[in-house]
Structure 1
Amino acid sequence: MKKTRLIKIILKRTGALKFLTTYIIIFAGVSIGIWIVEPNIKTPIDSVWYCFSVATTIGFGDITAVTILGRAMSIFLSICSILIIAVVPGIITSYYIESTKLKEKESIAKFLDDLEHLPELSKEDLQSLSVKVKKFNRK
C-alpha cells in the first residue's frame, strides 16, 4: 500500500502522471479506431487485445491489421508505447536517486553541524553521534 502511494506521489510531482494519462487516452482511442476500421476485429475486446499485443511489442499474430489506417494507428501506438516504457521508469528512477542524494546531503550536513558544536551537545546527542560513527566505520 505504501509503495503504491509513493509511486502515485512521484508520478504526480514529476509530471509523469500526465504522460500516463495521455497514454491511456491514446490507447483507448486507438483501440476504438482499430475496432472501427479493421474488418478482422469484430469486438471491442478483440481490439483491446490487439492493441495490447502491439503496445507490448509482443505481436502474437492471432489478429492483424490489414487496412492502411489500422496499420498506421498500430505504428503510432507502438511508438507511444515505447516512449512511455522508456520515459516513465526513467522519471521515477531519477526522482528516487535525487531524493536519496538529498537525504544523504541533509544527513551529512546534520552530522557536520553536530561535530562543529560538539561541546554543546547533550549526552544523548553524543551517544547518537557515536552510534552513527560506528555504523559508518562498519561500511
Structure 2
Amino acid sequence: MRRISLLWKVVRITHAERFAVGYVLLLFLVAVAVWLAEPSITTLADSLWYCFAASTTIGFGDFVAVTWGGRILTVLLALYGIFVVALVPGVMVNYFIEFNKIRYNESLVLFMDQLEHLDTLSKEELREISAKVRNFRRK
C-alpha cells in the first residue's frame, strides 16, 4: 500500500495525471473532428481507431487523413502522444529513485537507533552491526 501511495505522490508531483487526462480528452476531441472532416472515415469508432493508431505512431494505414484539417489534427495528436509516452519512463524512474531513497533512510534510521543503544545490544546484534560496517566500507 505504501508503494501505491508513493507512486501516486510521484504522479501528482510531476503532474503526469494532467497529461494523461489531457491525452484522453484530446484523443476524443480529435476523433470527433476527424470524423466530421474526413470523407473516408465514416464512423466515430473508425475515427477513434485512426486517432489511436496515429497518436501511438503505429499508423496502420487502413484509414488516412486526406484533408488539411485532418492532417494537422493528426500531427498534433501524434506529437502529444509521443510526449505522453515519453513521460511514463520519467515518472517510473522518479518513483524508483524516491522508493530507494525512503528504503535507504529507513535502514539508516534503524542503524542509528541501534548505535544509540549499544549498551543494550546482545553480542550477536553487535556482530551484525560490525558486519554491516565492514560491508559498507568495502563498497
- CA distance 1:78–1:89, shift in 2 (3 Å): same
Number of the residue aligned with 1:118: 118
The question of whether the paired residues in 1 share the 8 Å contact of 2:40 and 2:63 is answered with yes
SS in 2 for 1:40: coil
Distance apart, 1:69 and its partner CA: 0.5
| 1:68-108 Cα distance to aligned partner (Å, 9 max, x none) | 00000000001000000011321232122122122212312
Distance 2:68 2:96 in 1: 42
Please tell me the root mean square deviation across aligned C-alpha atoms, in Å: 3.0
SS in 2 for 1:57: coil
Distance 1:8 1:95 in 2: 6
The question of whether the paired residues in 2 share the 8 Å contact of 1:31 and 1:51 is answered with yes
SS in 1 for 2:62: coil
Number of the residue aligned with 2:60: 60
The question of whether the paired residues in 1 share the 8 Å contact of 2:6 and 2:99 is answered with no
Give TM-score, length-normalised by structure 1. 0.78
What 5-or-longer segments of structure 2 have no aligned partner? none
AA matched with 1:91: V
| 1:1-46 Cα distance to aligned partner (Å, 9 max, x none) | x6x9558724345421111111111111111111110111000010
- CA distance 1:8–1:132, shift in 2 (3 Å): same
Give TM-score, length-normalised by structure 2. 0.78
Number of the residue aligned with 2:18: 18
Distance 1:114 1:97 in 2: 26
- CA distance 1:105–1:5, shift in 2 (3 Å): closer
- CA distance 1:56–1:7, shift in 2 (3 Å): farther
Moved more, 18-27 or 107-116: 107-116
| 1:92-130 Cα distance to aligned partner (Å, 9 max, x none) | 321221221222123123213312431144x5x938x83
What 5-or-longer segments of structure 1 have no aligned partner? none
Aligned length: 133
Seq. identity, %: 37
Distance 2:4 2:130 in 1: 30
SS in 2 for 1:63: coil
AA matched with 1:110: L
Moved more, 80-89 or 8-17: 8-17
